[in-house]
Amino acid sequence: MSLLRRSPEKIRLPKGFSFSAVTAGIKVSGRPDLALAEATDGATAAALFTTNRVVAAPVEVGRTALLSSGGRIRAVIVNSGNANCATGREGIRACERVCNDAGKLFGVTSAEVFPSSTGIIGVRFPADKICAKLPELISARLASEHGVLAFAHAIMTTDTRPKIASMRFHAGSKQVTILGIAKGAGMIHPQMATMLVYLFTDIGASSRELQPVLRGACEDSLNSMSIDGDTSTNDTALLLASGASGVRLKDAGTSKKFASALGAVCQSLAEQIISDGEGVQHVVRLFVEEARSKEEALQVARTIAHSMLVKTAWAGADPNWGRILAAVGRSGVPVDPSRVQIFIGSQKVCQNGAGCAFNEKRAHRTLAKPECDIRVRLGRGRQAVRFLTTDLTAEYVRINADYST
């Protein structure tokens, strides 16, 4: 299925969650910008955050909340239009105020309210606007497809479409459902890229049991992709488990099925995020193979995926394998160039570090498609990674250069 023109995913609802969204007036566009996901009877949580040393207020507050609640979450409050980043102590206090107010309305401590923000950086956080809308937000919540769509739309910034994926599997006579909702690594116009991913499941598990499963699922999907190589200050992936399915993660035979389903949801979200990247015309599935370790395969993949020369060649569907080879050479991995092979689609274009005869027109046609596979074999070992990335287009520059202050 084409990543760029995929049909909407079927939405499967996990038990124990409801969703809503309202317009709080944070976005200038007047579109919905405040979203709620509630675990009706609470949920256990695991989370991954940005590795950037500069982190937004909600990342600090959310991380602390998870520690002090022992990984117990009742509600997730997400706003778009303001990232609450580089806002100092005042930004932290504003975020805490939102969590406090929401906690009171739900009758839980503020540590059970998990905050996220995405949008413009360095602008005062409008806690007033958000707090004023909390009662309306809470009364609007629905345990339905409609609620999920409202949530998915309200967290969008430069995304052109909502990103939703879900999976269901059987565990004996019972069913476990996983639902994922994400916003993309497109920048808030014209500010900061942020990836937010929320995963909801009705499996039962402790926070401690969930964390490694979340990490594993993200490693090969959300952590193996890149649009522009910039790491946001707000990136967050949150997994909530309600337990309402009656199935426990530690039940015999369940953990493998769950990990696989969660991986599939994350992979789908990663593909949806990449294909909706700013100005993206081509999605590239980059396979780096024959590495000594997964780490070095990933290092080579990232160097290729972040090379402006490689990405601009892809924008022009130019089968310019020399730029890929040069990126491999400067990746820091001690590759022997005379062992490197490069494939565009199924055609070999570089053998033993030198060009080999290939059909350039066919390679151009392969690259001109909305998606294509590029394979780089390092001739060093048996490890491999699959990495999702994109071209770099003049449209990307236009979106991100637009002066709007």
Question: Rule CB under 8 A: which residues touch a second copy?
Answer: 51-55, 85-88, 91, 120-123, 187, 190-193, 228-233, 306-309, 312-313, 315-323, 325-330, 334-337, 350, 352-355, 360, 364, 391-394, 396-398, 400-405
> Toward a second copy, which CB reaches closer, 193 or 240?
193
> Toward a second copy, which CB reaches closer, 25 or 322?
322
> Toward a second copy, which CB reaches closer, 220 or 318?
318
Please, what is the minimum distance in Å from the beta carbon of residue 288 to a second copy? 15
> Toward a second copy, which CB reaches closer, 7 or 404?
404
Q: Could you say which of 194, 236, 254, 366 is catalytic? A: 194
Please, what is the minimum distance in Å from the beta carbon of residue 227 to a second copy? 9
Please, what is the minimum distance in Å from the beta carbon of residue 315 to a second copy? 4
Residue 194 annotated among the catalytic residues of the structure: yes
> Toward a second copy, which CB reaches closer, 171 or 350?
350
Please, what is the minimum distance in Å from the beta carbon of residue 253 to a second copy? 40
Give the per-residue SS3 of the chain. Answer: CCCCCCCCCCCCCCCCEEEEEECCCCCCCCCCCEEEEEEEEEEEEEEEECCCCCCCHHHHHHHHHHHHCCCEEEEEEEEEEECCCCCHHHHHHHHHHHHHHHHHHHCCCHHHEEEEEEEECCCCCCHHHHHHHHHHHHHCCECCHHHHHHHHHHCCCCCCCCEEEEEEEEECCEEEEEEEEEECCCECCCCCECCEEEEEECCECCHHHHHHHHHHHHHCCCCCEECCCCCCCCCEEEEEECCCCCCECCCCCHHHHHHHHHHHHHHHHHHHHHHCCCCCCCEEEEEEEEECCHHHHHHHHHHHHHCHHHHHHHHCCCCCHHHHHHHHHCCCCCCCHHHCEEEECCEEEEECCEECCCCHHHHHHHHHCCEEEEEEECCCCCEEEEEEEECCCHHHHHHHHCCCC
Please, what is the minimum distance in Å from the beta carbon of residue 154 to a second copy? 22
Catalytically annotated residues: 194
